[in-house]
């Protein structure tokens, strides 16, 4: 009976290599761990710790039945957590846990090779969640570590010192970077992705939702993520006019606002007045179909793949899964839908039956005492200003009758509390009204010519319909916290410290923190524009400046560039492969002196050292002593004593001998 083949010596896995593999695996997994279910993160950590202890204490690997059971349990766990085992989130979770379970059967160097290639693949999955500059830098560092591990896996015998494997891995990655840049610049871009991404692809972002309930927007204030960046062509409207229109809500169920059926209707008649504002928006991926526009966008100057719906909300042709740029023209003065149809009136007066009875009673009494809608709006705003209402980031929980509890009991809320209760009150008084969400404000970047609108600038306000005036924006928050509208949310979060005060000095730590954040934001904006935004149009514009006007010339330039780079790298590697001594200046000069002596009939014997050779030559030609002895001493000092004196090199080169 044939016995099993014994593993070759080079197949055994040193403990040091295994521990370094575990360290590299942990490094690559770190950004994914917070995204994984708690049970999976715990299981991955337990497997890593067990494998390290098993290597230290020479434990046996688990039996096949246990590994099979763990694999089946992993599939079931991912299916239970995500409802699927494919797609972005579930697929990455499954890949991570399978990679961890691979450690339970790893015994030899060939297993390290499998892990290394899986680590390279796992590295790419990070770009599904983030494409920021720090992500690219982190992944390059991870690539160096993985490549060092790959080099170590090919080294027979004991493990290499970490500094050597990392140095070699860094050298290989550095050699690949020019090729990467060349392919990035010259490889033809095609519109859209090269393959169909899973339905849950794209980084999950916090942002506005397709519905609104108390507490939704106040939770966004804690997020410092960028929602979009804006660059105005000319004059910038003041802060109080920078309302960025987003989802609009008509339908109310007593607690939650939704768009309702009007979302699919055509845009309503609008008359635009005042100066036009032209600007460009760079919108971050938020995985929703809407775009944001300065209230109100010009229907005649919309992007090609965008439209306005019946709520005058700007919508993209598809869900925004990638960062996108679009240009718009807006007017801050307008008359929207001056005539209201009966269907629109019913929709914008809708309230759930038997909800918020105290608000209904108060609204009906005030409506009977007030001559028109404008007067009623002003009376309610004055009520907010003069009574004890508070604007707070931590409002109390509301129950079934949200407007009643807010207006009569808690009187503490954020913008969505004021906007929602205001619209409920107006509808109860017989005045059409609706809730509008979006962003308000935007802060300039002191290092660039653009404005940054963050998730913390999310806002909700109301629109009230008045005869002949159409839909009029009313912001109840401005009645309670006017500084929020006049100076912006970012300034409120800094404790009412404006940019002018920050840049003028006096607040050293706050100023330094702001400057660092603004500089980092500017760097990210450049990264987004030049790298992440390098699509088909930008590539064509850039290459046209270089004289590459068609795909054929681009491919030719790519082939020539890659060939030249590979040739340079090859020459560099061949030069490094030469014996070290052949590159030493002292040895080159000594060999030239030997060649001259050979031409004069003095040939060194095999194995004859420099001293013996020169002494034999001097014995035959005593008249050359004055030239050859100083040259010999200079060479010995340079070559063997390790001296580095240019005068010695000159002495070695200055030997004068007859031509024959």
At CB < 8 A and 24+ separation, what contacts does 168-174 make?
Answer: 169/144, 169/145, 170/144, 172/147, 173/140, 173/143, 173/144, 173/147
Q: Is 573:632 a contact under the CB 8 Å cutoff?
A: no
Q: Out of 475, 541, 602, 612, which one is annotated catalytic?
A: 475
Q: How far apart, in whole angstroms, are the C-alpha atoms of residue 536 and residue 225?
A: 27
Ordered strands of the 211-212 beta sheet: 211-212, 257-258, 251-252
- The residue among 246, 271, 301, 237 whose CA lies nearest residue 463 is 246
- Strand-strand pairing, 412-413 and 390-391: parallel
Q: Is 525:450 a contact under the CB 8 Å cutoff?
A: yes
The CA R_g of the chain, rounded to the nearest whole Å, is: 37
Q: How far apart, in whole angstroms, are the C-alpha atoms of residue 308 and residue 266?
A: 7
> Hey, how many other C-beta atoms are within 10 angstroms of the C-beta on 256?
16
The dihedral built from the CA positions of residue 385, 387, 391 and 396, taken in this order, carries a sign that is negative
Q: What are phi and psi of 503, to 5 degrees?
A: -75, -20
Q: Which residues contact 302 (CB under 8 A, 6 or more apart)?
A: 308, 314, 328
Q: Is 631:649 a contact under the CB 8 Å cutoff?
A: no
Q: How far apart, in whole angstroms, are the C-alpha atoms of residue 464 and residue 473?
A: 7
The dihedral built from the CA positions of residue 366, 371, 375 and 377, taken in this order, carries a sign that is positive
Q: Out of 111, 126, 404, 415, which one is annotated catalytic?
A: 415
How many Cα atoms sit within 13 Å of 610 on the Cβ side? 21
The dihedral built from the CA positions of residue 425, 428, 431 and 436, taken in this order, carries a sign that is positive
The three-point CA angle 186-187-188 to 5° equals 105
Burial class (CB in 10 A: 0-12, 13-18, 19+), 601: exposed
Query: Where is 230: in which H helix or E strand?
Result: strand 226-232
Q: Where are the alpha helices (DSSP H) in 216-327?
A: 216-220
DSSP 8-state class, residue 378: H
Report residue 417 as tokens.
Answer: 């509390």
Q: Which residues contact 426 (CB under 8 A, 6 or more apart)?
A: 363, 373, 376, 377, 380, 432, 433, 462, 464
Q: Which residues contact 117 (CB under 8 A, 6 or more apart)?
A: none
Q: Is 120:146 a contact under the CB 8 Å cutoff?
A: yes
Q: Does the active-site annotation cover 142?
A: no
Q: Does the active-site annotation cover 286?
A: no
Q: How many helices (H) and strands (E) does the chain have?
A: 24, 19
Q: Does the active-site annotation cover 459?
A: yes
Q: How far apart, in whole angstroms, are the C-alpha atoms of residue 561 and residue 555?
A: 10
Q: Out of 459, 612, 644, 645, which one is annotated catalytic?
A: 459
CA dist list (Å): 331 to 278, 395, 423, 459: 9, 34, 24, 20
How many Cα atoms sit within 13 Å of 638 on the Cβ side? 25
Q: Is 59:157 a contact under the CB 8 Å cutoff?
A: no
DSSP 8-state class, residue 196: P
Active site residues: 415, 459, 475
């Amino acid at each position: 009976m044939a016995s099993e083949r014994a593993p070759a010596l080079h197949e055994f896995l040193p403990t040091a290599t295994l521990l370094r593999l575990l360290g590299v695996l942990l490094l690559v997994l770190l950004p994914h761990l917070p995204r994984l279910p708690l049970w999976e993160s715990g299981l991955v950590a337990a497997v890593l710790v067990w494998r390290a202890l098993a290597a230290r204490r020479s434990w046996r690997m688990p039996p096949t039945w246990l590994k099979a059971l763990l694999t089946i349990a992993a599939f079931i766990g991912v299916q239970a957590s995500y409802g699927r085992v494919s797609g972005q989130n579930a697929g990455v979770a499954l890949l991570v846990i399978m990679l961890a379970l691979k450690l339970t059967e790893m015994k030899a160097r060939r297993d390290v090779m499998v892990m290394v290639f899986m680590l390279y693949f796992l590295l790419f999955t990070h770009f599904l969640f983030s494409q920021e500059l720090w992500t690219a830098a982190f992944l390059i560092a991870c690539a160096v570590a993985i490549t060092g591990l790959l080099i170590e896996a090919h080294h027979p015998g004991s493990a290499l010192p970490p500094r050597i494997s990392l140095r070699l891995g860094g050298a290989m990655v550095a050699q690949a970077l020019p090729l990467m840049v060349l392919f990035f610049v010259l490889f033809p871009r095609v519109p859209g992705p090269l393959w169909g991404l899973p339905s849950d692809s794209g980084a999950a972002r916090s942002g506005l939702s397709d519905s609104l309930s108390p507490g939704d927007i106040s939770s966004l204030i804690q997020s410092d993520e960028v929602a979009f960046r804006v660059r105005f062509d000319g004059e910038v409207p003041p802060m109080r006019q920078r309302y960025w229109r987003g989802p609009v809500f008509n339908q109310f169920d007593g607690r939650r606002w939704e768009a309702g059926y009007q979302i699919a209707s055509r845009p309503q008649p609008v008359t635009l007045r005042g100066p036009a504002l032209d600007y460009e928006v760079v919108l971050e991926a938020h995985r929703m179909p809407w775009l944001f526009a300065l209230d109100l966008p010009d229907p005649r100057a919309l992007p090609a793949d965008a439209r306005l719906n019946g709520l005058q909300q700007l919508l993209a042709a598809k869900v925004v899964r990638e960062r996108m740029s679009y240009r718009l023209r807006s007017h801050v003065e307008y008359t929207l839908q001056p005539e209201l149809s009966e269907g629109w009136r019913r929709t914008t007066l809708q309230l759930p039956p038997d909800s918020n009875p105290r608000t209904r009673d108060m609204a009906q009494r005030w409506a009977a005492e007030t001559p028109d809608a404008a007067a009623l709006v002003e009376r309610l705003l004055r009520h907010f200003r003069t009574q004890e209402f508070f604007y707070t980031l931590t409002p109390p929980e509301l129950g079934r009758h949200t407007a009643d509890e807010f207006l009569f009991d808690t009187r503490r809320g954020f913008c969505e509390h004021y906007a929602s209760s205001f619209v409920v009150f107006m509808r109860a008084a017989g005045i059409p009204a609706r809730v509008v969400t979006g962003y308000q404000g935007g802060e300039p970047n002191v290092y660039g010519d653009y404005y940054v609108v963050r998730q913390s600038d999310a806002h909700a306000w109301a629109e009230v319909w008045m005869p002949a005036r159409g839909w009029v924006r009313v912001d109840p928050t401005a009645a309670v916290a006017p500084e929020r509208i006049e100076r912006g949310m970012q300034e409120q979060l800094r404790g009412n410290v404006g940019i002018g005060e920050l840049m003028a000095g006096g607040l050293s730590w706050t100023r330094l923190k702001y400057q660092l954040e603004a500089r980092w934001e500017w760097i990210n904006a450049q990264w987004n524009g030049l790298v992440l935004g390098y699509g088909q149009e930008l590539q064509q514009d850039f290459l046209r400046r270089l004289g590459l006007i068609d795909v054929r010339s681009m491919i030719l330039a790519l082939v020539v560039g890659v060939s030249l780079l590979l040739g340079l790298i090859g020459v560099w590697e061949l030069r490094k492969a030469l014996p070290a001594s052949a590159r030493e200046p002292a040895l080159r000069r000594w060999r030239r002196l030997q060649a001259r002596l050979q031409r004069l009939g003095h040939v060194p014997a095999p194995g004859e050292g420099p001293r013996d050779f020169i002494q034999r030559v001097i014995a035959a030609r005593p008249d050359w002593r004055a030239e050859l002895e100083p040259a010999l001493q200079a060479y010995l000092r340079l070559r063997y004593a390790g001296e580095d004196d240019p005068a010695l090199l000159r002495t070695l080169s200055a030997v004068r001998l007859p031509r024959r």
